[in-house]
Copies of this chain bind each other. A is one copy, B any other.
């Protein structure tokens, strides 16, 4: 059987220069997971969309789950690093909390597909990876909580609402962004971030 090797490994394809196969797989997988759900997306769907075959995918990723885990790891790593930078910065606790809140909304909206997958398919991960993701997320929450606590200690924020609850409260808002935000809507990611930040700080402020 002659295999005419469609277009071989060369990537001067007619279309836009496509990123390497590994990244491409993760990207299209994220997109498909977000659109149709993890379980409704078959490995075949993914490789078709990426223009390769299963052999390629199982060469780079150990399993379909691996692909999912990468989504989580990637976005969590980025947001944690952002938060670290902001928390270590200057300004009052309120100022830094404002920055952190606006930033997490912004970056989440910039990676909407990841967020949709994130909050919807965590339970599909195998137990061990799920534990790891939860740990990473918990670490993020703790850093966020520390900022709130700082503001409480400084007397800027009200002390009668546990900071744990506040963190759950606000991060819930962030996690749900993917379920209603439309990029072509009237509000930009930045505007949404500012408004949500206002609502958060308002709720925290001593009256």
Contact = CB atoms under 8 A, between A and B. Distances in A.
Contacts of A169: 173, 196, 199
Interface string A26-44: 0000000000110110000
Given A37-B39, A123-B37, A172-B172, A199 B204 contact: yes
B39 A165 contact: no
A199 B161 contact: yes
Contacts of A179: 119, 172, 175
6 contacts: A37-B39, A165-B195, A169-B199, A175-B176, A202-B203, A202-B204
A124 B41 CA distance: 11
Nearest to A205: B202
A124 B37 CA distance: 8
Given A40-B123, A202-B202, 15 more contacts: A37-B123, A39-B124, A40-B124, A119-B119, A119-B176, A158-B202, A162-B195, A165-B187, A165-B192, A168-B176, A169-B196, A175-B179, A202-B204, A202-B205, A202-B207
Contact of A176 (B39, B172, B203): B172
A5 to B, nearest CB: 37
A38 B64 CA distance: 18
Chain A facing B: main interface SS: helix
Contacts of A119: 119-120, 176, 179
A176 B171 CA distance: 9
A136 to B, nearest CB: 15
Contacts of A177: 172
A169 B187 CA distance: 14
Looking at A168, A172, A196, which has the most chain B CB atoms within 10 Å of its CB? A172
Interface in A182-207: 187, 192, 195-196, 198-205, 207
